[in-house]
Structure 1
């Protein structure tokens, strides 16, 4: 089983790994797109106004542009430890130990706007690029990633069950045929439901933690739902789609 996570806008600074080496990353089929995007971001960083517009930054966030300028020389750390924020707080991978930590490293992966599919231990630097960013004079990131990323994701799905926890814009970078998909809804006392926005990430982080740590090997959506229920989550299943129901 592989659990696909979205990245986060926020990322830990620094790292104790060597500078970025594409050959050290998994999925070498993605190296050409990765290299092009790194070149684009490093070049764009020389023009702060253009960078702010393309990346959706304010003048107070120029440190993010500096990160992009240093992509080739900045220290790296494992991808799963690079990302921060609500989902990753709920996942809390640092607290996993022993076999649970090993299972998390094997099962968790991130689909990144800069690197495509990265596995938990892939060493990456801090950067700023979102799935919705529009780099000047370039096609959309979805148009650039789909031809390279979809075959990789399809190959993954042929070998293992994929549980796709990505948000819409990151799911748009590459489809995964046959993946188990998940949404989170809030239910009011009268039974009315609405899609959860911000806290959607926290509940998906809880589910990712349960799936990462479980000793079982889920092979279909029903088994994934079972893991979630054992973790105390209320889950409904319709085919390969799961709905996590939380109180409003």
Structure 2
């Protein structure tokens, strides 16, 4: 179980932006020379659940995920996973979390397999265990045909799948993916969504952000909608439809966003 309560993170605005007199053009999160990217985000994700993190562009989703991964330190709030305070012990958090950021973070001169093996070694995996795990992931993600190809020669979709493999190679207890299907074709996206769904059987909480609501319908048990840096909704997909006033998930999402506008 991962529980997030009252997360907040602000960034100092450049002087020019902070001193502008055109208040009508300002984001509501700009206050007193600060941009409050995340103001009050709370949600939970239980073992075996997939949580979809949704919101308009610039809503604070990526900042929220970076806070969960300990890449950023929040100004307020708490993050607990399996009874551990991740903010007090970020090293333990990084051992337990698999985090895919918006960039693939691959080394271009290494092959796809070498990249995944490298990250496994960083996590202290034994050679025999690492080999079995790489074999498993490359088969699950359909990567065997280009495992020996250099990363700088891979397509965008191939790089993304390689990045996902290195994210979960150490079998993390929590998986966090920031828009994982970006750059994937239809077939590759289906492989990845099936891969995400498989984590339910492993009893691993998985959180991923997306703009594609059909992905939410396919794999998500719960949804958290972030708008203007705060949680606008947290519940099941059916509860989202009810609150948004539509059986169509896209219309329901827009309805929730407009309620909080």
Q: TM-score, normalised by structure 1?
A: 0.31
Name the structure where strand makes up a greater proportion of residues. Answer: 2
